[in-house]
Structure 1
Amino acid sequence: MTSMDSAIAHHPATFPQTARAAFAKAYPDQPVKLSHDLVGHSLLTLDALATLAERMPAASVEYNLGKLPLGVRPEDTPSNGLTLGETIRTIETNGSWAVLKNVERDPAYGALLDAALAELEPIVVAQTGPMLHREAFIFLSSPGSVTPFHMDPEHNILLQIIGNKTMMIFPARDEVLVPAQKSEDFHGGGHRNLEWQDGFKARGTPFPLAPGDAVHVPVKAPHFVENGPAVSVSLSVTWRSDRSVAEGELHSFNALLRKRGLPTGAVSDRPERQGLRRLVYRIMRKLGA
């Protein structure tokens, strides 16, 4: 048995049956707290993650100072002055935040992702079709770090491995939080960070996470994360679906229409059924519009 095989065999199941049942009730539209069994996994220690980070391409890592305002602009995010390996190995004291992107490209971490998602695949396929573009991200945060208010385009489950944090999750498709034009810009390559207003907080639900806890975050549900008093390590397992792809296409179509002064259309909560609008968008895109 290789070291990779033994790492995977060490934890044969990621999500217990109770977590899978809770996920089935909530997916795809509702956030829900889950549980998992990856705490203590040999691939998810700080040393293992520092070693992984040092062999990853620069484009797949992002790290900076961690104590940031909720609404920080991307261009205003300060560097911490350390290398990535130093950042991870000294994260307890350096006041930083780091993310390792697409760790599934490493075979051992790819096997970890595949094993986790295989347990959820029957539930996902029944609701939103095949799991597309499976990816995994690892987040490391110093005590007290804040991940600013933002949204992501994928279906996501965040698994807490080390330390505590609170994720505040807001409803997807709330245009007070995410105006239609922000969604259009986002799907055209705009940044994930959102404009924060203090009045928004009442619209969110806090999900406190300790090691062994996980949370399902629906596609584009705005959220921010506040780290607890110790180092935090979290694993995020994500996928796309025909529904998430359709939603992106329809917002991109609206952006094209808006640019031409034409009326935009509503994006429904079942965008995969809006086949005619998606077809027109694909034709316009092929024609170079």
Structure 2
Amino acid sequence: MHSQPFTPETIAALATAYPLAPRHLQHRIADHPLLQLDALAALARRLRPESIEFNAATDLPLGIRNDETPYTGLDVHQTIAQIESAGSWVLLKTIDQDPAYAQLMRDVLATIEPVVEPRTGKMMRLEGFIFISSPGAVTPLHFDPDYNILFQARGSKTMTFFPAGDTEMIPDPFFEQYFNGGPRNLSWREEWADRGQPIRVTPGEAIYVPILGPHWVKVDDEVSISLSLTWRSEWSFHHADACRFNSRLRKLGLSPSSPRGYPGGNRLKSYAQRALVRAERMLGRGTE
């Protein structure tokens, strides 16, 4: 890896967008040995089974539900070996459980701390993910609960973004069910297409992906390898707990106000949710 994964110009470009807007970036880690297909096949053998997802990924509707996603009949190792023709998508999750990948993640994210921490505070819960995708693979419309930079290492893809505050695309009850363990794939309406902002990346390019913003992804006509490095903030944890608290209120027949978007705070609802969880745990222990 180069001594610095980003140029000063790229750091400056991230600073103009973070944390609310997507931004096309440049990087210097596309040729890193850990991001080559043979290294990733070996990583898949080392990861815990729960850290791997794979399924069919071509010709999927943008609004497909998580439980409707088809499988190809191949196991993950066969899928990686046949990725050019498998019509599949492999996700290696929390790759930071592997020491070499954890070091790569820390080295890269440390370079953007001067941009991130003055705005959203300490970078928390750092995690790494790798996507290995067949030509034409589609990742349906969804959102992420964390801040994310996606680094393209092989092939090319287009990520299409929609505004994070669009409550028609993500109504409050959807956030509430997600943060209580529900799926994150969203429904799709064709009339939403014009709202999208497409950003295409090739090897050596990256995208900053804003937290909570709906997006979908389409791989071009060759195999794609992407590294996704993510982090959370105190604000993001308060937002998630406010959504969980609103879910409680909704079950009581109330219509709670939406959690506040950044930089607005959600501490009151968040602390109420955390207090209720602690009380429930104490009551649960007391009746055992």
TM-score range for the pair, normalised by the shorter chain length: over 0.9
Structure 2: any 5+ residue segments left out of the alignment? 282-288
Equivalent position of 1:124 in the other structure: 116
Equivalent position of 2:192 in the other structure: 200
Does the C-alpha gap of structure 1 residues 243 and 230 become closer, same or farther in structure 2, counting only changes over 3 Å? same
User: What is the one-letter code of the residue matched to 1:72?
Assistant: I
8 Å CA contact retained: 1:168, 1:225: yes
8 Å CA contact retained: 1:54, 1:84: no
1:66 equivalent in alignment to 2:61: no
1:23 equivalent in alignment to 2:11: no
Equivalent position of 1:273 in the other structure: 265
TM-score between both structures, scaled by the size of structure 2? 0.94
TM-score between both structures, scaled by the size of structure 1? 0.94
- Is the partner of 1:266 in helix, strand or coil? coil
Equivalent position of 1:256 in the other structure: 248
Q: How many equivalent pairs are there?
A: 280
Equivalent position of 1:94 in the other structure: 86
Residue 39 of structure 1 and its aligned partner are, at CA, apart by: 1.3
Does the C-alpha gap of structure 1 residues 137 and 69 become closer, same or farther in structure 2, counting only changes over 3 Å? same
8 Å CA contact retained: 1:37, 1:212: yes
Equivalent position of 1:169 in the other structure: 161
8 Å CA contact retained: 2:239, 2:266: no
1:46 equivalent in alignment to 2:14: no
Equivalent position of 2:106 in the other structure: 114
Residue 215 of structure 1 and its aligned partner are, at CA, apart by: 0.5
Q: Deviation per CA, 1:224-265, whole angstroms, max 9, x where unpaired?
A: 000100000000000000111111111111111111123412
Deviates more, 1:255-264 or 1:270-279: 270-279
Residue 16 of structure 1 and its aligned partner are, at CA, apart by: 1.5
Q: Deviation per CA, 1:42-96, whole angstroms, max 9, x where unpaired?
A: 1111111001001111100000111122111222211122221221122111111
8 Å CA contact retained: 1:151, 1:222: yes
User: What is the one-letter code of the residue matched to 2:82?
Assistant: T
User: What is the one-letter code of the residue matched to 2:8?
Assistant: Q
Deviates more, 1:10-19 or 1:145-154: 10-19
Within 1, Cα distance between the matches of 2:89 and 2:136? 10
CA RMSD of aligned residues (A): 1.3
8 Å CA contact retained: 2:162, 2:215: yes
- Is the partner of 1:19 in helix, strand or coil? helix
Within 1, Cα distance between the matches of 2:181 and 2:175? 10
Residue 11 of structure 1 and its aligned partner are, at CA, apart by: 2.5
Does the C-alpha gap of structure 1 residues 263 and 72 become closer, same or farther in structure 2, counting only changes over 3 Å? closer
Equivalent position of 1:77 in the other structure: 69
Equivalent position of 1:11 in the other structure: 2
1:230 equivalent in alignment to 2:222: yes
8 Å CA contact retained: 1:51, 1:85: no
8 Å CA contact retained: 1:131, 1:240: yes
Within 2, Cα distance between the matches of 1:263 and 1:87? 46
Equivalent position of 1:221 in the other structure: 213
Equivalent position of 2:285 in the other structure: none
- Is the partner of 1:53 in helix, strand or coil? helix
Residue 196 of structure 1 and its aligned partner are, at CA, apart by: 0.8
Equivalent position of 2:183 in the other structure: 191
8 Å CA contact retained: 2:239, 2:270: no
Within 2, Cα distance between the matches of 1:281 and 1:95? 43
Residue 272 of structure 1 and its aligned partner are, at CA, apart by: 6.2
Q: Deviation per CA, 1:183-239, whole angstroms, max 9, x where unpaired?
A: 111111111100011111111100011111111111111110001000000000000
8 Å CA contact retained: 1:170, 1:204: yes
Within 2, Cα distance between the matches of 1:243 and 1:44? 31
- Is the partner of 1:225 in helix, strand or coil? strand
Within 2, Cα distance between the matches of 1:269 and 1:74? 26
